Each structure stands twice: as structure tokens, then as C-alpha cells.
Amino acid sequence: MSFEVPDLPYSYSALEPYIDEETMHFHHDKHHAAYVNMLNGAVEAAKKLDGKSVEELITDLDSVPEAQRGAVRNHGGGHFNHSMFWEIMGPASGEMSSELNTALLDAFGNLDDFKAEFHKAGMTRFGSGWAWLCSTKGKLSVCSTANQDNPLMGSKYGGCDGKTPILGCDVWEHAYYLNYQNLRGDYISAFFNVVNWAEVSRRYSETL
Ligand code: MN
């Protein structure tokens, strides 16, 4: 059994003008595919990992043999992060659940203040990484990780122990450079226009 790049749940041009079609082709067809290929190579080299989901792999990196741990962290993280990224975006924003709306207000006061904190998390991540909105049994917080680390990973692997990401924004240059060049802030602001709140709400409900 090997991992595969999931199809986009919408067309490559569906997120225009906020995320351009060419970026989506490179990002999904080349970058995500490379993570999947490298992850498959690592899992093939460590038979005990066969049959585990990518979420299981990245959540328990201690159980991955040391020889493959770095590859599973980077490429398993890359596969998991991008699979989530495609799903939490969309051409339609969907409806935010009342549970998520209430939790956002409880944690941040209002939606604009949440966006400002999320934006800052993406802007202050030096180099490559991700900005996240996480739930800890329903309580929301914002964080960021480096490279392809994910909040689900233990803190010694760059994660955030116990936090479940429900929304993530890729701030690697490959996610925005064709359209936004050096203007990461403009890209993160545009990202909010393509968030699929119905999907984020569904993911939130699973953390309660
Ligand atoms: Mn990416």
C-alpha cells in the first residue's frame, strides 16, 4: 500500500484570483507529489510502518525507526499538511457552524482579531512553514510551525503537543511566489477569501 496525492476537490483555476491556476498546478502536481514519493520511499524502507495512516505516522514519530524519522517528519508532514490545505480551501466559503463561530469569539473577541493573529503567525514564521488555527478540545488558538512540521507532532519534533489543526495556511514561497513574489502578507490576506468555513467547521466538530 502506498500513499497517493488526492485529487483537488475543485478545478485548478477555482481559487482565482486569490490563488492562481499556475501556482495550483505546481503546488499540487509537483510539490505535493514529491512529498508523497519521498514518504513512500521511507515507508518502503521501514516495513513496520506499512499500513499506518499518515496521521498516525506524524503523530507518533517516536515509533518511526530513526533512519526514516527525518523523512517521515518532512515528507509525511508535507503530505498531511497539503492534503488538509486543499480541503480547507474552496471557491465557496460554506457556512461556519455556530459552535465554531462561538469558539472564535471566545478565543479572539471577533473575527478580525482572529485574522490579524493568524496573519501575524504567518508573517513572523521565518523561512518556510505554516500558520495554524488549532483546537484543544474545542478551545481555539493560533500557532505556526517550521518547514512541514504539524501541530500534531510532539513538541520535540516542532509540533504543539495536543493541539489539533483545523485550518492551515502554507507560507512556503512556493505557495505564493508566482503571483505575489515577496509579498507574503498580501497572499495571507487573500487566503481568507478562499477559506472553506464549512470544512473548517466540520474539522472543529471532530475535536469536541
Ligand atoms: Mn506547499
Ligand 1 center–CA 102 separation, angstroms = 30
Q: Are residues 117 and 178 in the same domain?
A: yes
pLDDT in tens, 93-144: 899 999 999 999 999 999 999 999 999 999 999 999 999 999 999 999 999 9
Ligand 1 center–CA 71 separation, angstroms = 16
Report how many domains make up the chain: 2
Burial tier of 142 (Cβ tally within 10 Å: 0-12, 13-18, 19+): buried
Ligand 1 center–CA 87 separation, angstroms = 14
Which pLDDT belongs to residue 47?
85
Q: Are residues 43 and 112 in the same domain?
A: no
DSSP states along 147-169: TT--TTS-GGGT--TT-EEEEEE
Is residue 15 included in any domain, yes or no? no
Q: Is the pLDDT of residue 163 over 70?
A: yes
Is residue 32 included in any domain, yes or no? yes
Q: Are residues 78 and 105 in the same domain?
A: no
Ligand 1 center–CA 143 separation, angstroms = 17
Q: Are residues 199 and 132 in the same domain?
A: yes
Is residue 35 included in any domain, yes or no? yes
Across the beta sheet with 139-146, the strand order is: 139-146, 129-136, 164-170
Q: Are residues 66 and 146 in the same domain?
A: no
Ligand 1 center–CA 205 separation, angstroms = 26
Mean pLDDT, residues 44-59: 93
Is residue 159 included in any domain, yes or no? yes
Q: Are residues 200 and 127 in the same domain?
A: yes
Q: How far is CA 33 from CA 6, 23, 42, 85, 117, in A?
A: 9, 14, 14, 14, 31
Ligand 1 center–CA 172 separation, angstroms = 6
Q: Are residues 107 and 60 in the same domain?
A: no
Whichever domain contains 167, its CATH number is 3.55.40.20
Q: Are residues 133 and 76 in the same domain?
A: no
Domain that holds residue 197: 98-205
Please state the pTM of the whole predicted model.
0.97
Ligand 1 center–CA 170 separation, angstroms = 6
Is residue 6 included in any domain, yes or no? no
CB 159 within 8 A of CB 151: yes
Cell of 35: 512529498
Ligand 1 center–CA 188 separation, angstroms = 14
